[in-house]
Chains A and B, each alone.
Chain A
């Protein structure tokens, strides 16, 4: 006898969920929405009660956390799922995670959890292992079954991004890990509590397996408190509306919203095929030595994708040609892909009364086995696969923006690029206290890319989280006192240019303050010297690169002690070096993620990210917009002239006649130095035949050519024989 409705087992209802959709095309086979049709106001009240319950759980539980990402940067989520695992309601926060819960429930059903270890009222379950549903092990899930008179009717779920996962690099965004054994503390679905309380032994795991025990134990308590609180509120909702209404209502939410999403695509878009590409890298060569020989190399990550907007309003995303799985940290499983890419779908079309997993019913994926998002090696490292799946958020932003632009809904175009930086730190203070931390300021607040009708708005959005919040610098400094922020600002010229330019990237400059016996810093970044997107939009230049600079053994303390001012970002830091005011023994620069860098007192750590792409031809940029940029210092006079062809006088005014002539000359230059496509093709074909690529690019092509779709395109474009090989 099962624990679900009409004595069915969890496995049975999960299978029925999938089968009924396959048979009817409607979630749960619901061809009619009876509750919605009978009394829409009541249904809305029901739905809002569920949303309010989730938000209440989040807002009360997060006060237990000490982790700045949860407390002030919104890196958490509480949600309600039905017995089958479909999320029907959620708080605000890390919205993408609602996509994962159906996978988690499906997995525990298949694992036979109903029999062993059993699923009972008050049991608390935990999971962060990506093979079973969560996207990466920094995102820790706690979930609790909701029973009504002995029947499993729901799950309450809480998750947050923890500070440190106990991997070989500190923090939760490690960029080095050859396999699951170096990913850190990774636990498959586990019963970790009973009678609505976590077991005491569970704390020991956080204390022994991660670096930030205080943060992580409190985060665990936060999640547990939230799911218990939500559980109690849901019991009230069931009492108010009745169990029949509750059970059926949750299913109707999914089907109703599936229909809304399909209709929205049909209303706003144009069916067809849309192409996307972003290139990034994993650079391990020389870092791991002989310990992991298979990882002693670099990879160019080929994030290719084709969005198919189908005539029925559903979406198929084809990832054939994606880089193969590797001995690196960046592999991922389907739930991670579903989770993170949904963050490109919420803002583009999936905004409804509540966020929920109806998206799963209208989005299909082709993820070839053996690719890095469908690894066949069960020990594939996944600690930061999320960083690569994040690139595909922007597939939806960019492809759908083009589709909406074509349809005439320019106001809905919201293209974006993948650029962002976070970092982890770990060390031992002078008194022997071991500690670690992490900061996501530049991830949690970014500027916007240009749209077809305006410049990107600065410091306005957060692609991985619908609630962007850069957090409070003081709180970060309190929790990580070695990281003193001496600058955080928009950086002039740091954007993709265009008729409308991207929002400016944000830079931070930190001084390392009294780290004690040791301190290492490692930065995660989304680009690797190949830009934030491989394609510009309508002739606009794509976003550029993330920047990380370490300046070691500087004289900044001397400058401060003499009462001087200080630089605020990497650009100013460089100017100070050139002027001889600031001195450093050594400087390390990166255009992407970094290994773990040892730092000492007075070192400077500069990061800059979020240079977003432009839209349209730079030579069509309105002179008034250029004057505005000059006035506020967003664009330098040099850039106004060299990029935009605008002559600026001493008052910051565009000299229009002179500028018209400059622009005409720039168009003439385009004519002179460009070639016909056929000539370009001939020259490019010769280069392909010569094959003189950089080793990393050559390896990328070698890998991509294993996939038929890319091989056909490559061979066809360059007219190469079927047996071509590099």
Chain B
């Protein structure tokens, strides 16, 4: 194994991302102590090579979604298909196409055992699709009227500065702020 791999090769990391790393190799990765210190760097290199666009990936936040830095300024959520989902401080779900399952019949399409289905008197199932590729990005099972859940708001500046030791050029205290509610406020104004 190459020194630069630091105990876990880039090739195996790619296989792990693809879901085809053999279980024995996965177990070796789990047992690796200490972990490969350059894992995040390798991860970003692989992810960047896998997407068809050039915006710099700062963080991966789901199978398809990335927080990227735009060359002209700003940090946004971007799908690997290229669809942009807005400022990462605003819950990306508010930039999706949304379908809601409200009846037992609609639930039955994804839960085929009737007894296991959700009680539609109490909750609905929301599905959030990418408006570009229609990949299913998120699912929520909540009562009607429940505010969409903001799964993750990373503290990116402190992550890069304090944990990775490589601060970003556009650091600002304003980055670690949940700005989700600005969007419905804007919609309200638009009428």
Contacts and interface: CB of A to CB of B under 8 A. Distances in A.
A497 B151 CA distance: 20
Contacts of A268: 35
B115 A570 contact: yes
Contact of A677 (B30, B93, B162): B93
Given A547-B116, A671-B134, A718 B109 contact: no
Size band of the B side of the interface? 35 or more
Interface string A523-555: 000001111011110111110110101000000
* Highest count of chain B CB atoms <10 Å: which of A300, A538, A570, A608: A538
A638 B112 contact: yes
Contact of B136 (A267, A410, A670): A670
A401 to B, nearest CB: 11
A279 interface: yes
A644 B185 CA distance: 38
Given A408-B43, A687-B145, A544 B111 contact: yes
Contacts of A535: 138-141, 149, 151
B154 A453 contact: no
A693 B143 contact: yes
Given A271-B154, A677-B93, A717-B147, A411 B30 contact: yes
Nearest to B60: A406
Interface stretch (A63-71, A428-436, A593-601, A694-702): A694-702
B63 A499 contact: yes
A495 to B, nearest CB: 9
A315 interface: no
A530 B150 contact: no
The secondary-structure label for the interface of chain A is: mixed
A332 to B, nearest CB: 23
B184 A539 contact: no
Size bin of chain A's contact surface: 35 or more
A90 interface: no
B95 A677 contact: yes
B61 A406 contact: yes
**Which among A411, A589, A697 has the highest number of chain B CB atoms within 10 Å?**
A411
Contacts of B141: 279, 530-531, 533-536, 542
Interface string B109-124: 1111101111101110
Contacts of B150: 273, 275
Contact of A536 (B109, B140, B153): B140
Interface string A492-515: 011001011000000000000000
A1 interface: no
Contact of A539 (B17, B61, B139): B139
B153 to A, nearest CB: 5
A273 B181 contact: no
Interface string B126-163: 01110100111111111111011111111110110011
Interface stretch (B48-56, B69-77, B96-104, B166-174): B96-104
Contacts of B42: 408
A670 B97 contact: yes
A402 B63 CA distance: 10
A540 B122 contact: no
Given A279-B142, A571-B113, A671-B97, A539 B63 contact: yes
Given A539-B62, A693-B145, A716 B181 contact: yes
Contacts of A571: 113
A713 interface: yes
B117 A545 contact: yes
B151 A684 contact: no
A10 to B, nearest CB: 38
A615 B19 CA distance: 11
B90 to A, nearest CB: 11
B98 to A, nearest CB: 4
A530 B119 contact: yes
Contact of A300 (B26, B60, B122): B122
Interface string B19-35: 10101001001100011
B149 A674 contact: no
B110 A311 contact: no
A591 B119 contact: yes
Given A273-B152, A716-B185, A453 B113 contact: no
A270 B59 contact: yes
Given A277-B149, A713-B147, A719-B187, 13 more contacts: A270-B159, A300-B122, A405-B60, A407-B43, A408-B43, A411-B26, A529-B119, A531-B123, A535-B141, A547-B115, A619-B136, A688-B144, A701-B143
Interface of B: 13, 16-19, 21, 23, 26, 29-30, 34-35, 39-40, 42-44, 59-64, 93-100, 109-113, 115-119, 121-123, 127-129, 131, 134-145, 147-156, 158-159, 162-163, 176, 178, 180-181, 184-185, 187-188
Instruction: Sort A-B residue pairs by CB-CB distance and give the 5 closest, nearest first.
Output: A408-B43, A536-B139, A529-B119, A716-B181, A272-B154
8 contacts: A266-B163, A279-B123, A406-B59, A408-B43, A529-B122, A643-B109, A674-B97, A677-B95
